[in-house]
Amino acid sequence: MTLTAMAPMLIEAKKEGYGIGAFNCINYTTIEAVVIAAREERSPLIIQTSPSTVKQLGHRALYNMVTSAIEDHPYPAALHLDHCHDLEMIRKCIDMGWTSILIDASHLPLEENIAITREVVQMARPKGVTVEGELGAIGGVEDDLVVDEKDAYVAVPAHAKRLLEESGADVLAPAIGTAHGNYKKEPKIAWDAVEEIQQIIPQPFVIHGGTGLDDETFRRLIQMGGAKINISTDLKYAYIDGFVNHYNAHPEEYNPLKVIGAARDKVTAMARRYMKLFGSAGRCG
Ligand code: 13P
């Protein structure tokens, strides 16, 4: 299977009332792990890469890992660049074959956010690449992005509508009270803003800060049009715990393939749980 554009996957998910997990992968093992999960669960998949991962592995090597992992994969899979404001990296990823980009200009005033998002749409459109635009300030830590809790603020729905209409972006990442990383206290979802977004914006929206939300919150957000659900922290924990637990249980082994295999299996189990919870399991094939 070749990589698929993300927007049609999300439009279908929103129409049918399920969500698709977007997993922040960091190497070949984690890519392979989520592809195995998608195959076992017959689920559409979004492989998500942060700018740090692109920098560390190189965009060509990372792209080749993803295309190797999905070569015999029978179901739709998209490759998405997460939270990027570096236009040069965006251009390289589009040219290489990424099928979706999050241009994160949410730190800029609305007019500038719209202008830069539009510029990325113009780069992406001729190649059929999906563009996610972002609005508001999502708290917590993701990659090099650090937003203190006191500086986080919820997206204004009317601005979100303007961002999509005036830039031509396909999907919206609105700050709605979720946060990147582990929650230090119970998240307070801005349900009124989500309700308004659902009413005035026909496009699917993206839920950032998936790790640590409870099952009921996920179900309610998906019902209201949340079609892409980002999971990063949970993947990192599954990977490292799988690795460390195996090593601690078999310290005499010292076999890298065994610990890497254990890390992969734990990430696969984590992704399978989300695919069932989000309702994307069983949608393919
Ligand atoms: P978590 O790290 O909270 O799962 O958030 C992931 C995310 O939103 C990536 O953009």
- The domain segmentation of the chain, as residue ranges, is 6-278
25/68 Cα distance (integer angstroms)? 14
Ligand 1 contact via 232 beta carbon (within 6 Å): yes
31-45, 133-147, 197-211, 227-241: least confidently modelled range: 133-147
Ligand 1 contact via 70 beta carbon (within 6 Å): no
Nearest atom, ligand 1, residue 24 CA: 9
Nearest atom, ligand 1, residue 83 CA: 10
258/209 Cα distance (integer angstroms)? 31
- Helix, strand, coil in percent for the chain, rounding step 5: 50, 20, 30
Average pLDDT over residues 209-236: 97
CA of 179 relative to ligand 1 center, distance in Å: 7
Residues contacting 106, CB < 8 A, separation 6+:
113, 134, 135, 136, 137, 138, 173, 175
CA of 74 relative to ligand 1 center, distance in Å: 27
Q: How many CB atoms lie within 10 A of CB 12?
A: 16
Q: What is the pLDDT of residues 42-64, one digit of tens each?
A: 999 999 999 999 999 999 999 99
Ligand 1 contact via 178 beta carbon (within 6 Å): no
Ligand 1 contact via 208 beta carbon (within 6 Å): yes
Average per-residue pLDDT for the chain: 96
Ligand 1 contact via 43 beta carbon (within 6 Å): no
What is the model's pLDDT at position 272?
A: 98
CA of 230 relative to ligand 1 center, distance in Å: 5
What is the model's pLDDT at position 236?
A: 98
Nearest atom, ligand 1, residue 211 CA: 4
119/129 Cα distance (integer angstroms)? 13
Ligand 1 contact via 22 beta carbon (within 6 Å): no
69/28 Cα distance (integer angstroms)? 8
Please measure the distance between the N-terminal and C-terminal CA atoms of the chain and give it in whole angstroms.
13
61/52 Cα distance (integer angstroms)? 14
CATH number of 6-278: 3.20.20.70
**Token pair listed for 237:** 């924990």
- pLDDT confidence of 131, banded at 50, 70, 90? very high
**Residue 265, φ and ψ in degrees, nearest 5:** -65, -35
CA of 10 relative to ligand 1 center, distance in Å: 18
Q: How many CB atoms lie within 10 A of CB 145?
A: 18
Q: Which long-range contacts (CB under 8 A, 24 or more apart) does 155-162 make?
A: 155/193, 155/197, 156/193, 157/193, 157/196, 157/197, 157/200, 157/201, 158/200, 159/110, 159/135, 160/135, 160/197, 160/201, 161/200, 161/201, 162/110, 162/114
**Token pair listed for 195:** 């309700």
What is the model's pLDDT at position 1?
A: 79
- pLDDT confidence of 145, banded at 50, 70, 90? confident
What is the model's pLDDT at position 153?
A: 81
Report, as residue numbers or ranges, the catalytic residues.
82
